[in-house]
């Protein structure tokens, strides 16, 4: 899952990025409203954390412009303490939720999870395909009763595939949702990660059916 953080206070922006990366999200940061708007309208994000007061273009303006362009990425608006009336304005402009700064990282994380899973997985923290199970909170991954150990990126890749089951996902989609802008990942790298995943979730379970399928020339499909 890939998140854009638009926040002009570098210290806050960088600590949010660091914290989210520890939770296995791919994170891009924009320090101005204009940069944030440009990234949000050209890249494919799963969530945008948007500060309200920004140089150049403020959060409400960005929100309105994105919605006007039919970009419906969930937006979590960040407002400074005391801007209560702006919260209403933020939501009216098309934001999905808001938080008042300063906030605890735990609370931010809870809201991020809620917004990201909102469309398809409103209730469960556990994603399931056949006997494969992935817990997005504890990071435990299991096939049947066997616990599988995954690296951060393997986990992020599997989570993305599990959120789009039985759908062909292209390498480009994988790259843009699992890696951040600076990663400069090549399609070959995706193949390497898919191979590693197969070695962990399919090959050891020879009696069960394979879950990762290659749609030759297109991409991959789970389940």
Smallest separation, CB 88 to Ca ion (Å): 18
Least CB distance to Ca ion at residue 39 (A): 17
Q: Of 68, 72, 64, 78, which is closest to residue 7 (Cα–Cα)?
A: 78
Q: Which is nearer to Ca ion, 77 or 127 (CB)?
A: 77
Q: Which of 51, 86, 96, 180 binds Ca ion (CB under 5 A)?
A: 51
99 counts as binding Ca ion under rule CB under 5 A: no
Q: Specify the 3-state DSSP secondary structure of 171.
A: helix
CA-derived radius of gyration, the chain: 18
Smallest distance, Ca ion to C-beta of residue 47, A: 18
Neighbouring residues of 15: CB distance < 8 A, sequence distance ≥ 6: none
Q: Which stretch binds Ca ion (CB under 5 A): 52-60, 81-89, 170-178, 197-205?
A: 52-60
Cis status, amide bond into 97, omega within 30 of 0:
no
Q: Is 8 in the site for Ca ion (CB under 5 A)?
A: yes
Report how many residues bind Ca ion under the rule CB under 5 A. 3
Stretch near Ca ion under the rule CB under 5 A, chosen from 46-54, 88-96, 133-141, 145-153: 46-54
> Are the C-beta atoms of 63 and 93 separated by less than 8 Å?
yes
| Buried-state track 130-146, b at ≥16 Cβ within 10 A, e below 16 | eebbbebeeeebbbeee
Task: Calculate the CA 53 to chain-centre distance.
Answer: 23
Residue nearest to Ca ion (CB): 53
- Alpha-carbon span 111 to 97, nearest angstrom: 8
Q: Which stretch binds Ca ion (CB under 5 A): 10-18, 26-34, 44-52, 161-169?
A: 44-52
Residue 53 within binding range of Ca ion, rule CB under 5 A: yes
Nearer CB in complex with Ca ion: 77/197: 77
For residue 60, the minimal CB distance to Ca ion (Å) is: 12
List the Cα angle 92/101/2 in 5-degree steps.
70
Least distance from C-beta 51 to Ca ion, angstroms?
Answer: 4
| 130-169 residues near Ca ion, rule: CB under 5 A | none
Residue 116, phi then psi, degrees to nearest 5: -70, -35
Q: Which residues bind Ca ion (CB under 5 A)?
A: 8, 51, 53
């Amino acid at each position: 899952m890939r998140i854009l953080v638009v926040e002009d206070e570098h210290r806050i922006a960088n600590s949010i990025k660091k914290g989210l990366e520890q939770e296995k999200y791919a994170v891009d940061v924009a320090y101005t409203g204009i940069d944030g708007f440009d990234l949000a309208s050209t890249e494919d994000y799963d969530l945008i954390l948007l500060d309200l007061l920004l140089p150049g273009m403020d959060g409400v303006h960005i929100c309105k412009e994105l919605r006007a362009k039919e970009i419906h990425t969930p937006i979590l608006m960040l407002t400074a303490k005391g801007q209560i009336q702006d919260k209403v304005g933020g939501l009216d402009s098309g934001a999905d939720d808001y938080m008042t700064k300063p906030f605890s990282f735990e609370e931010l994380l809870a809201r991020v999870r809620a917004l990201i899973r909102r469309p398809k997985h409103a209730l469960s923290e556990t994603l399931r395909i056949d006997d494969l199970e992935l817990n997005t909170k504890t990071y435990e991954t299991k096939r049947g009763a066997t616990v599988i150990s995954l690296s951060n990126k393997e986990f992020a890749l599997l989570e993305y595939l599990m959120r789009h089951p039985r759908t062909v996902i292209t390498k480009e989609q994988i790259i843009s949702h699992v890696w951040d802008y600076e990663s400069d990942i090549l399609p070959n790298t995706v193949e390497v990660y898919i191979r590693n995943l197969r070695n962990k979730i399919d090959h050891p379970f020879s009696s069960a059916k394979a879950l990762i399928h290659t749609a030759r020339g297109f991409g991959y499909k789970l389940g």
